[in-house]
Structure 1
Amino acid sequence: MEPRGMKKWRPFATMPEQYIGLQEIINNQVEVAQPVLTEEQMEQINFTLIEAFHTDKQVYLTYYKKGQCVTEKGFIQFVDFLGNLFVFIDEVFELKNKMRLSELIDVRFA
């Protein structure tokens, strides 16, 4: 007698639209609205960014991306307040990430 293996599960994979729809529903449930920062919080973020840039200290960056709040650890490499962007190097892959300042939620020293 020969085992059926993966053939056994093929009838359940006949409707890929169902899996796509379920994944969209799950993603919509996890999504959060972007928090609105006060002037005081934005000033604190700016001061922390400047200090981290000049002292080359490692920071935790919390930012809003595609409906989720993401926290990463890294170093600030460049800050442009007029252009509303900054560049940081993440700790894990050591990649340069360019982001808008308006996406930042929180910055803390590691």
Structure 2
Amino acid sequence: MKKWRPFATMPEQYIGLQEIINKQVEVTQPVLTEEQMEQINFTLIEALHTNKQVYLTYYKGGQCIKETGFIQFVDSLGELFVFTDDIFELKNKMGLSELIDVQFV
């Protein structure tokens, strides 16, 4: 697809090519086992109580995204958590179903 980028001179053409490229790198959301979900839950709770920095891997928009940050809040009944990223210190609210992996730094 890189060889077609010089031909993307019109904005509509560039948008169309970008959509095609984005669809090619899309992945399906991995299905987690019960054991993996329990391990993620234990790691989230421990990171919350000890205020340790964690690596988060989550699924969003067809991509697996990795970030580092600190867990601020976990609501297992509402199935969401809040984390602060370490770069811009922004609070992000996310569903637990989007989470793929959590590891300590």
- Specify if TM > 0.5: yes
Structure 1 vs Structure 2: percent identity of aligned residues?
A: 82
Counterpart for residue 59 of structure 1: 54
Q: Distance in 1 between matches of 2:61 and 2:68?
A: 19
Deviations 1:1-20 (A, max 9, x none): xxxxxxxxxxx73x322211
RMSD of equivalent CA atoms: 1.0
Q: What amino acid sits opposite 2:30 in the alignment?
A: P
TM-score by length of 2: 0.90
**Code of the aligned partner of 2:92:** N
Deviations, residues 28-59 of structure 1 (Å, cap 9, x unaligned): 00110000000000000000000000111110
Q: Does 1:44 align with 2:31?
A: no
1:71 to 60, 66, 71: 66
Cα separation, 2, equivalents of 1:20 and 1:78? 38
Runs of 4+ in structure 1 off by over 4 angstroms are none
State the Cα deviation string for residues 50-70 of structure 1 (Å, max 9, x = none). 000011111000000101001
- Asked if residue 35 in structure 1 is aligned to residue 36 in structure 2, the reply is no
Matched positions, count: 98
Match of 1:94 among 89, 95, 101: 89
Structure 2 portions without partners, runs of 5+? 1-7
Residue segments in structure 1 that go unaligned for 5+ positions in a row: 1-11
Between structure 1 and structure 2, the one with the greater Rg is 1
Distance 1:67 1:52 in 2: 27
TM-score by length of 1: 0.86
